[in-house]
A and B are shown apart, each in its own frame.
Chain A
Amino acid sequence: MTMSLSRLARHAALAAALLVTIGLSAAPAGAQEKPRPGGILNWFDYGDPGRLDVHAESPLVVQQATAGIYSGLLQYDPDEPSKIVADLAERWTVSTDGRSYTFHLRKNVKWHDGQPFSSADVKASFDRVLNPDFKSPKCGAALKPMVASVEAVDANTVEFKLKFAAAPFLPSIASAWCRVAAKHILAKYGDLNAPEAQVGTGPFKFKKYERGSVIEWEKNPAYFIPGLPYLDGVKQFILVGGPTQLAAAKASKIMLWDAWPPMRKTQADELGRQRTDVDIYQAPINTVFFIYLNAKKPPFDNPDMRRAVNLAIDRQELVAKALEGAGVPCAILDPKLVGDFALPLDEVAKAPGCRQPKEQDIAEAKKLVEKHYPSGLDVEVAVRQVGNYVDRGQLVIAQLRKIGIRGTMKTHESAAGYAAFGKGDFTIIATQDRAMDINEPSGVFHISYTTESGSNYGQYSDPKVDELTERALKESNRDKRKQAYWELQRYLLAKGDHASIAVAWVEGWFFKDKKLRNYKPGLTTYDNNTFMKVWIAQ
């Protein structure tokens, strides 16, 4: 059969086009790729935030719900998550004595409602979190020990005066919790809880919040970095419970699992069998699994009883079973995260409560309990119904039973649990993860160990801990700072009667869709979830 020349030419052109297409699609992913604008990132929040005030709240669900809406003075670099870079402040200077920081703000930045941004907004935000009468368990708890005052020098300049030269100041200012809110919005609404009050300067605008269902952001076309964000929007489905979250991941309803709760190994394996278009990885999440004892009421107002629980808890078993091996037991600071500020793990492993085999610790714990409660005692053990807390709680109850403490589990819905814990309405909290706000050795002490710490649920006060924490915070010489933190860790491990018991630093498994580009996990669970530079490949 003959073919006309023109028809031959058409066939040849088609074949050439096909070959070019095949060649292009075979190119390695990410090689010389240009960011592709458009698309919606589907993600999830592990619970319903209820309240949205990033200054006043501490759960991750709240921070995650509004992360892309707000900007801070500084941020952790989306491209290099360990670096602090400019955000609303385009540059900053430090005085020679380290006690004064001047931030020079970007000009021509607008709030999402079109109002102009200025230093008055920065002052209003930080005056709020630093107000002694305002409970700010994250930003305020970190900054209050360090900051003396905040002044608006002019419309584009803000000065922070510190009480002392403090190494954690810049990391704290860059933290995802120290976001700048609009003065006019704070004046109008009084707080930042309402969806209507979610007016920021961030890469995304707050579009929708359906309770129990979904939170949506849409692209801010007037974002102060031209060309960003690439995404048209972000959708966070509110998915409560591991099976629901995993089912969504397996059904390709979400593109990312990046924070808390991490997947367990069994879940990661299941996902890996179901989907080949995702990258699954293991990582630390800068989060500590704590047990809290109420030091304000019996039986744990008695230091012997607190010491008994500290001895009895088998942290290695909890890591092996509850975290499926993904965790660092016993450490108050994790060497993987803060380097040599952490005590060496072989020293930590010899501390009371961390020794293996466990028989010696259990025997000592039993004696302490029998001294005060010869027939043992019954206590209520509280857990929030999130993640695998109920499983962890059952393991803790089983461990306490060995020393004569008979626990009955009391479960709480997530927000109700936080409310109860904040009021001191518990005897033991079997498990509560506390994520660090910054990757800094001071973080864990300001979160759970000092008298004024944001999550000192047990309301325990040890002046020596406060004194050692403050000394380490104020120390500017790195070696002396390291020695101060070592002394503090050794003190806590040896005394063993604090109401906050660090079980393990939590690690876990996560995934991201292979089509997602330029996403890098932050050093904490709170960072790098603004998605300002993330894009979706075709």
Chain B
Amino acid sequence: MRAALARFVVGQPLGAAGAVVVLALIAVAVLAPVLAPHGPKETGFATYVAPGREFPMGTDQVGRDVLSRVIWGARLSLYVGVVSVFFGVTLGALWGAMTGYVGGAADTASQRVVDCLMALPPIILALSLMAALGQSVNNVILALVILLTPTAARTIRSVALGVAATPFIEAAEAAGASRARVVFRHLVPNCMASYIVLVTTNISYAIVVEASLSFIGAGAPPDEPSWGGMLAAGIQALETAPWMVFFPGLAISLAVFGLNLLGDSIRDLTDPRLRGGLG
């Protein structure tokens, strides 16, 4: 384990840095109730207090501690990112794997559905979904699941088509395995590398989409500690209280940067064409 870790750090220094950031993000999210000095919606403090000893990241326009909201925001961002990506990419992967294996008219029809969904600009689709569903964190997750599923379906389908043509799949079919058994015991496990890459790279995308929706007032309700929502409130007082923009902006940047670095290095490790190559 230690040797593998050392090899990873030496071989993928940027990925290791990304992993450190991601682990820190996870730790902050999990330990939010302990780390945050105040509740994220507690308004009992003076407004626009500059960063100092009492409030290291200052307070906002309604007297909430910005540090506490940034910490609780990590929990919200990770919750939205992980849950939406898990369900979206998993659903998409199963969809793509099954229709790729089955082929024929079912595959053709399903890919046309994917084409339609992918033709819509993602943020417009997300906005429309939020307008229909209403503002809540869970509806943001639902909207993200709908955004992520078609891309995952397309990607995993292309991998599944290649796997389906391999001899061991033929052998399983010849041995009398049912379609379901072939898909779940043989096809899906051989798509896991691509699945893992999709998950790690899309978490940062999901975090950015959630922040963007909240920034324009269509995501999480305004009192939720969403980093994007905090940016929107901070813009209103940019000159007076720049810390309201700086700290949540920094949090988004660090989270996305760390996840992208980690995702890139996982992709490099799992894609044999890139392993040891020019990348």
Contacts and interface: CB of A to CB of B under 8 A. Distances in A.
Contact of A395 (B62, B238, B240): B62
A385 B229 CA distance: 14
Given A394-B223, A401-B41, A408-B221, A243 B240 contact: no
B254 interface: no
Given A394-B223, A395-B43, A410 B134 contact: yes
Interface of B: 41-43, 47-48, 61-63, 134-136, 217, 221-223, 233, 235-241
Interface of A: 242-243, 266, 269-270, 273, 317, 321-322, 324, 385, 388, 390-391, 393-395, 397-398, 401, 408-411
Given A388-B236, A394-B62, A397-B223, 8 more contacts: A243-B235, A322-B62, A390-B217, A391-B62, A394-B222, A397-B41, A410-B134, A410-B135
A53 B61 CA distance: 36
Given A243-B235, A410-B135, A266 B240 contact: yes
Contacts of B62: 321-322, 391, 394-395, 398
A65 B118 CA distance: 42
Contacts of B221: 408-411
A398 B239 CA distance: 26
A391 B43 CA distance: 11
A266 B233 contact: no
Contacts of B61: 321, 388, 391
A481 B136 CA distance: 50
Nearest to B235: A243
Contacts of A401: 41
A321 B134 contact: no
Looking at chain B's contact residues, is the secondary structure mostly helix, strand, loop, or mixed? loop
Contacts of B239: 270, 273
Contacts of B41: 394, 397-398, 401
B47 A321 contact: yes
B240 A269 contact: yes
A242 B236 CA distance: 7
B132 to A, nearest CB: 14
A104 B42 CA distance: 61
Mostly, the A contact residues are helix
A408 B41 CA distance: 12
A397 B223 CA distance: 9
A401 B136 CA distance: 18
Contacts of A410: 134-135, 221
Contacts of B241: 266
Contact of A321 (B43, B217, B237, B240): B43
B43 A394 contact: yes
A460 to B, nearest CB: 27
Contacts of A393: 222-223
Contact of B237 (A266, A390, A398, A411): A266
Given A321-B63, A395-B43, A401-B41, A409 B236 contact: no
B261 to A, nearest CB: 33
Contact of B223 (A266, A321, A324, A409): A409
Given A321-B63, A390-B222, A394-B223, A408 B240 contact: no
Contacts of A398: 41-43, 62, 223
Nearest to B41: A398
A143 B273 CA distance: 82
B216 to A, nearest CB: 11
A401 B44 CA distance: 12
Nearest to B47: A321
Nearest to A383: B222
B222 A266 contact: no
B237 A409 contact: no
A411 B223 CA distance: 11
Nearest to A250: B239
9 contacts: A266-B237, A269-B240, A321-B61, A388-B236, A391-B61, A394-B62, A394-B223, A397-B223, A398-B223
Contacts of A409: 135, 221-223
The 7 tightest CB contacts between A and B, nearest first, are A398-B43, A266-B240, A394-B223, A409-B221, A390-B222, A270-B239, A395-B62
A209 B223 CA distance: 36
A266 B50 CA distance: 14
A393 B241 CA distance: 21
Contacts of A411: 135, 217, 221-222
Contacts of B135: 409-411
A321 to B, nearest CB: 5
A366 to B, nearest CB: 17
Nearest to A241: B236
Contacts of B223: 393-394, 397-398, 409
Contacts of A408: 136, 221
A282 B235 CA distance: 24
Nearest to B43: A398
B177 to A, nearest CB: 50
Contacts of A242: 236
Residue from the set A388, A394, A401, A408 with the largest chain B CB neighbour count within 10 Å: A394
Question: Which of B63, B236, B238 counts the most A-chain CB atoms under 10 A from its CB?
Answer: B236
Contacts of A273: 239
Q: Which of B43, B135, B233, B238 has the most CB of A within 10 A?
A: B43
Nearest to A320: B47
A390 B238 CA distance: 17
A322 B60 CA distance: 12
B47 to A, nearest CB: 5
A409 B240 CA distance: 26
Contacts of B237: 266
A390 B43 CA distance: 14
A183 B114 CA distance: 58
A270 B222 contact: no
Nearest to A394: B223
Nearest to A269: B240
A385 B236 CA distance: 14
Nearest to B42: A398
Contact of A385 (B43, B63, B217, B238): B217
A321 B63 CA distance: 8
A235 B239 CA distance: 28
A385 B233 CA distance: 13
B94 to A, nearest CB: 33
A321 B43 CA distance: 10
Contacts of A324: 47
B130 to A, nearest CB: 11
A380 B239 CA distance: 33
A266 B48 contact: yes
A397 B42 CA distance: 10
Contacts of B235: 243
A160 to B, nearest CB: 47
Contacts of B134: 410
Nearest to A265: B240
B43 A270 contact: no
A245 to B, nearest CB: 11
A412 B61 CA distance: 21
A18 to B, nearest CB: 40
A84 to B, nearest CB: 39
A279 B23 CA distance: 53
Contact of A243 (B48, B136, B217, B236): B236
